[in-house]
Structure 1
Amino acid sequence: MQSSRLDSAQFYTEFSGLNALKTQARTDKKAALEQVAKQFESLFMSQMLKSMRSVNDVFAEGNYLNSSQSKFYQEMFDNQLTLSMSQQQGLGLSDVLARQLSRQIPGMDDGGTKATGHKATIADYDRSLPALSPRLPKQVDEVKAISESVAAQKPREAVVEKEVAETVSIDLPETFESPEHFVRTLLPMAEAVAGDSGIDPRVMVAQAALETGWGKHMIKAADGEHSFNLFGIKADSRWQGSAVDITTSEYREGVKMNERAAFRAYPDYQSSFEDYIGFLERNPRYRDVLAVADNPEAFADGLQAAGYATDPAYGAKIRRILNSDSFEAITGETLSLNQRGEE
């Protein structure tokens, strides 16, 4: 039995009946399809009747009863007439449409009835919980045993981590006794980190020596916290890590001035080397510098030209360190020892 809202779909001026058809389509697709097919047949007959009446327009010329108002009410009558006809016997077009379209609607079989097993709403799904496995208690005990074993190992792991940290702190001093100590400690690390960057590890150590005064003037916070910053890279808006705020010397239009600035802080020297390479590779203005990475002197001059530092003699100072007899002797000996150790 149709609802009153669905009955209203039989009047062409009542649009709420169309919404009722949408609602019915969720639960009874066959009945909704039949009703929509009748609505389509009504539109088809309305167009036929409109074409037939247009033939008489020639004979209606000059008739004082032929006016826009009479045409308006005549069209209303025709629309309701065709809708009523489609709800009764009609032309049979609605039956053909319903049979044809029912084969294409999900959840309906060829006969237009609801297909077996079709799930139209969430209420059609089985909501019962599966039975618990009889092995579940045993599996819970196994998981508890594993978690207790892991918890028992954590104290030992903490001791091992502490020992490793202490070893690292011993191997990597916060200050260096001499340039030789500086080079022998950091050059192997620079060689390992350089990797595919193509940067000569010697030029990295030479630049770090210039920035830190051979490790004797490392960047530290007011409370003595070590930054391990070997290359004087500042903590700009792109830096998300720790930072140290100090007074530094900068050249402004050739004049040396003291300024307060924030510098990046690292957990160790290796992180400083890695960030230095990443800093150059991520910054487009050092693209030409990296292109000559295999040439230490050109690389040093390229850093100056790209504006790495405000010191006008920055590149020349790096080259001076690179070409010094003592630096070449120490680096040559250190690299030779590393190569023999790898063999």
Structure 2
Amino acid sequence: MLPAAVYTDPNGLADLKRAARADATAAAPQIAQQAEALFLGELLKTMRSSGLGQGLLDGPQAEMYRDLLHRQLAVELSQHGGLGFGNAIAGAVGGSAAPPSPSAAALGLPRGLAGLPPISRAGVVGGGTAAADFDSQSAFVTELWPHAQRAGQALGIDGRVILAQAALETGWGERVARTADGRPSYNLFGIKSHGWGGAVARVPTLEFRDGALQRETADFRAYGSYAEAFDDYARFLTENPRYRQALAAGNAADFAHGLQAAGYATDPAYARKILGVLGSPLLADLGGAASNGAQA
């Protein structure tokens, strides 16, 4: 039996493709289930995008965890019947229909969508954020991995932890700040405009002050491309003495904790969150490609 979350797992997807080539009829129910899970995931993503504005606790980290929750919810719903069209797909290609869906109470899921966390998205114009250039987490990794490798080589740090930090800061590229005229800032690392003479993007942000979250507005650096963002990130760390200990780290964990200790972010769980993203299958699969000698 293939794992329920196969459409979010490149290895699982490859297994499903092999199963379909070997016996398409037998694999039809699983293929239909994954198609429905993908549809439900996109449906929930669209609903998130239709919010009227940011909530008090919104931010890149909250958005990332909401995305993970909704992906898992989509998988669970499709595994237990979903909207029903998975069965129709399976029947159309000669496979057997999945068993009927149990009740929401039996699944431990909320009734309807009222139980989901608040969802919002700021507008494109006026310094807000918008759906980014990446249509999936895989696309985020594929496009940015070469830049992360280059920055990692310059810093002597595993490029995967740099990519994990970018994913955390932007929710896998879905919350990249935009300038007042709606242009993308390409700022993947939440670097503010202190000492910066270039363009900026002014956006609302959440900061921990005296142990409590506070809503603030801040100016962030704006770049001309993602390549420039990675180059400035490497320059920012090397030119600031407070990050020397982080850059001297021998592994990803020490680097992440070094960033937090140096005050890179006010979130007291910043390092733990970076390492949590680093442990995701998409980044773990890059292990063989890491070429700068650092170990995760």
Kindly provide the amino acid, as one letter, of the partner of residue 240 in structure 1.
Answer: G
- Secondary structure of residue in 2 paired with 1:266: coil
TM-fit CA distance, 1:193: 3.3
Tell me the alpha carbon deviations over residues 117-170 of structure 1, each in whole angstroms, 9 at most, x when there is no partner: xxxxxxxxxxxxxxxxxxxxxxxxxxxxxxxxxxxxxxxxxxxxxxxxxxxxxx
- Secondary structure of residue in 1 paired with 2:238: helix
Give the Cα–Cα distance (whole angstroms) in 2 for the partners of residues 325 and 186 of structure 1: 16
Q: After the TM superposition, which residues 279-290 of structure 1 pair with which residues of structure 2 at under 5 Å, given as runs?
A: 279-290=236-247
- Secondary structure of residue in 2 paired with 1:247: strand
- Secondary structure of residue in 2 paired with 1:260: strand
Kindly provide the amino acid, as one letter, of the partner of residue 231 in structure 2.
Answer: E
Tell me the alpha carbon deviations over residues 190-214 of structure 1, each in whole angstroms, 9 at most, x when there is no partner: 1123333202110110000000000
TM-fit CA distance, 1:240: 1.2
Q: After the TM superposition, which residues 1-343 of structure 1 pair with which residues of structure 2 at under 5 Å, given as runs?
A: 174-236=132-194, 238-292=195-249, 294-329=250-285, 331-332=286-287, 335=289
Give the Cα–Cα distance (whole angstroms) in 1 for the partners of residues 155 and 205 of structure 2: 29
Tell me the alpha carbon deviations over residues 259-299 of structure 1, each in whole angstroms, 9 at most, x when there is no partner: 0100000000011101111111111111111111x411110
Give the Cα–Cα distance (whole angstroms) in 1 for the partners of residues 193 and 167 of structure 2: 20
- Unpaired segments of 5 or more residues in structure 2? 1-130, 292-296
Structure 1 outlier segments of 4+, above 6 Å: none
- Secondary structure of residue in 2 paired with 1:182: helix
Kindly provide the amino acid, as one letter, of the partner of residue 271 in structure 1.
Answer: E
TM-fit CA distance, 1:174: 4.4
Kindly provide the amino acid, as one letter, of the partner of residue 288 in structure 1.
Answer: Q
Q: Which moved more, 1:214-223 or 1:256-265?
A: 214-223
Kept after mapping to 1: 8 A contact 2:201/2:221: yes
Kept after mapping to 1: 8 A contact 2:152/2:158: yes
Kept after mapping to 2: 8 A contact 1:175/1:218: no
**Structure having the larger proportion of residues in helix:** 1
Alignment RMSD (CA, Å): 2.1
Q: Give the count of matched residue pairs.
A: 162
TM-score, normalised with respect to structure 1? 0.45
Percent identity (aligned): 48
Give the Cα–Cα distance (whole angstroms) in 1 for the partners of residues 153 and 283 of structure 2: 22
Q: Which is higher, the Rg of structure 1 or of structure 2?
A: 1
Give the Cα–Cα distance (whole angstroms) in 2 for the partners of residues 306 and 192 of structure 1: 23
- Unpaired segments of 5 or more residues in structure 1? 1-172, 339-343
TM-score, normalised with respect to structure 2? 0.52
Question: Who is 1:159 aligned against?
Answer: none
Kindly provide the amino acid, as one letter, of the partner of residue 207 in structure 1.
Answer: Q
More relative contact order, 1 or 2 (CA 8 Å, 6+ apart): 2
Give the Cα–Cα distance (whole angstroms) in 2 for the partners of residues 224 and 274 of structure 1: 23
Q: Sort the Cα spacing of 1:229 and 1:320 in 2 relative to 1 into closer, same or farther, 3 A.
A: same
